[in-house]
Amino acid sequence: MLITLRELELHRISVSKTYPPDVLDLQGSGFRQKGPVRVDAVAELVEREIRIRGHVSARLESSCDRCLGRVEFPVESDFDLLYRPMTEIARECGFGSPSYLSACFQKRCKMTPKEYKNVG
Protein backbone atom coordinates (compact mmCIF):
# COMPACT_ATOMS: atom_id res chain seq x y z
CA MET A 1 0.00 0.00 0.00
CA LEU A 2 1.31 3.42 -0.92
CA ILE A 3 0.39 6.38 1.27
CA THR A 4 1.24 9.80 -0.12
CA LEU A 5 1.91 13.00 1.81
CA ARG A 6 -0.80 14.69 -0.23
CA GLU A 7 -3.38 12.20 1.07
CA LEU A 8 -2.16 12.62 4.65
CA GLU A 9 -2.39 16.41 4.36
CA LEU A 10 -6.11 15.96 3.65
CA HIS A 11 -6.98 13.28 6.21
CA ARG A 12 -5.67 10.42 8.29
CA ILE A 13 -5.66 7.02 6.62
CA SER A 14 -6.84 3.78 8.24
CA VAL A 15 -5.43 0.46 7.12
CA SER A 16 -6.76 -3.03 7.93
CA LYS A 17 -5.00 -5.86 6.16
CA THR A 18 -4.69 -9.61 6.65
CA TYR A 19 -1.76 -11.44 5.11
CA PRO A 20 -2.35 -15.16 4.49
CA PRO A 21 0.16 -17.73 5.82
CA ASP A 22 3.61 -17.80 4.20
CA VAL A 23 3.10 -14.54 2.30
CA LEU A 24 5.51 -12.43 4.36
CA ASP A 25 9.22 -13.03 3.75
CA LEU A 26 10.83 -13.77 7.12
CA GLN A 27 13.94 -15.14 5.41
CA GLY A 28 16.94 -15.62 7.67
CA SER A 29 14.98 -14.89 10.85
CA GLY A 30 14.43 -18.49 11.92
CA PHE A 31 10.68 -17.84 12.07
CA ARG A 32 7.84 -19.02 9.84
CA GLN A 33 4.42 -17.45 9.56
CA LYS A 34 2.07 -20.15 10.86
CA GLY A 35 -1.27 -18.39 10.42
CA PRO A 36 -2.59 -15.13 9.02
CA VAL A 37 -0.98 -11.84 10.08
CA ARG A 38 -3.47 -9.09 10.86
CA VAL A 39 -2.46 -5.41 10.83
CA ASP A 40 -4.75 -2.56 11.85
CA ALA A 41 -3.21 0.91 11.72
CA VAL A 42 -3.83 4.62 11.32
CA ALA A 43 -1.40 6.93 9.48
CA GLU A 44 -1.48 10.67 10.04
CA LEU A 45 0.65 13.72 9.45
CA VAL A 46 1.88 15.28 12.71
CA GLU A 47 3.74 18.50 11.96
CA ARG A 48 6.46 17.28 9.54
CA GLU A 49 6.42 13.63 10.57
CA ILE A 50 4.33 10.70 9.48
CA ARG A 51 2.99 8.77 12.45
CA ILE A 52 1.65 5.24 12.10
CA ARG A 53 0.01 3.66 15.13
CA GLY A 54 -1.64 0.31 15.25
CA HIS A 55 -1.69 -3.33 16.24
CA VAL A 56 -0.32 -6.51 14.70
CA SER A 57 -1.37 -10.06 15.54
CA ALA A 58 0.05 -13.29 14.18
CA ARG A 59 1.07 -16.86 14.93
CA LEU A 60 4.70 -17.70 14.27
CA GLU A 61 6.67 -20.93 14.39
CA SER A 62 10.34 -21.47 15.18
CA SER A 63 12.62 -24.33 16.09
CA CYS A 64 13.40 -24.89 19.76
CA ASP A 65 17.05 -25.62 20.56
CA ARG A 66 16.08 -27.09 23.94
CA CYS A 67 13.43 -29.60 22.84
CA LEU A 68 14.64 -29.92 19.19
CA GLY A 69 11.08 -29.51 17.94
CA ARG A 70 8.98 -26.79 16.36
CA VAL A 71 7.28 -24.28 18.66
CA GLU A 72 4.27 -22.11 17.82
CA PHE A 73 3.58 -18.86 19.63
CA PRO A 74 1.20 -15.94 19.30
CA VAL A 75 2.37 -12.41 18.58
CA GLU A 76 0.20 -9.52 19.75
CA SER A 77 1.81 -6.10 19.70
CA ASP A 78 0.92 -2.45 19.45
CA PHE A 79 3.24 -0.19 17.47
CA ASP A 80 3.84 3.53 17.17
CA LEU A 81 6.19 4.54 14.34
CA LEU A 82 7.45 7.96 13.28
CA TYR A 83 8.88 8.63 9.84
CA ARG A 84 10.79 11.84 9.30
CA PRO A 85 11.82 13.22 5.90
CA MET A 86 15.57 13.24 5.17
CA THR A 87 15.33 16.99 4.65
CA GLU A 88 14.25 17.47 8.28
CA ILE A 89 16.91 15.10 9.64
CA ALA A 90 19.64 16.83 7.60
CA ARG A 91 18.54 20.28 8.75
CA GLU A 92 18.33 19.31 12.43
CA CYS A 93 21.78 17.66 12.32
CA GLY A 94 23.44 20.66 10.66
CA PHE A 95 23.92 19.23 7.17
CA GLY A 96 23.40 21.59 4.24
CA SER A 97 21.27 19.14 2.27
CA PRO A 98 19.86 15.60 2.37
CA SER A 99 22.29 14.52 -0.35
CA TYR A 100 25.28 15.68 1.72
CA LEU A 101 23.92 13.80 4.77
CA SER A 102 23.48 10.70 2.60
CA ALA A 103 27.05 10.99 1.23
CA CYS A 104 28.51 11.37 4.74
CA PHE A 105 26.41 8.45 6.01
CA GLN A 106 27.54 6.25 3.11
CA LYS A 107 31.20 7.14 3.64
CA ARG A 108 31.04 6.28 7.33
CA CYS A 109 28.69 3.26 7.24
CA LYS A 110 29.68 1.82 3.85
CA MET A 111 26.04 1.78 2.75
CA THR A 112 23.35 4.31 1.87
CA PRO A 113 20.66 5.29 4.40
CA LYS A 114 18.13 3.39 2.27
CA GLU A 115 20.28 0.25 2.31
CA TYR A 116 20.71 0.60 6.08
CA LYS A 117 16.94 0.96 6.53
CA ASN A 118 16.39 -2.31 4.64
CA VAL A 119 18.99 -4.31 6.60
CA GLY A 120 17.63 -6.70 9.11
Specify whether 71 is located in the same domain as 112. no
Specify whether 50 is located in the same domain as 109. no
**How many Cβ atoms sit within 10 Å of the Cβ of residue 103?**
13
Number of folded domains that form the chain: 2
Specify whether 75 is located in the same domain as 112. no
- If 0-12 CB within 10 Å is exposed, 13-18 middle and 19+ buried, where does residue 91 land? middle
Specify whether 90 is located in the same domain as 78. no
Specify whether 102 is located in the same domain as 65. no
Average pLDDT, the chain: 86
Selection from 58, 13, 15 nearest residue 40 by Cα: 15
pLDDT at res. 74: 92
Specify whether 78 is located in the same domain as 46. yes
pLDDT at res. 42: 95
Residues listed for the chain = 120
**How many Cβ atoms sit within 10 Å of the Cβ of residue 87?**
13
- Give tens-digit pLDDT for 31-75: 888 889 999 999 998 887 889 999 999 998 888 778 788 888 899
Range of the domain at 10: 1-83
> What does the alpha-carbon distance between residue 114 and residue 90 come to, in Å, rounded to a whole number?
15
pLDDT at res. 69: 82
Specify whether 5 is located in the same domain as 54. yes
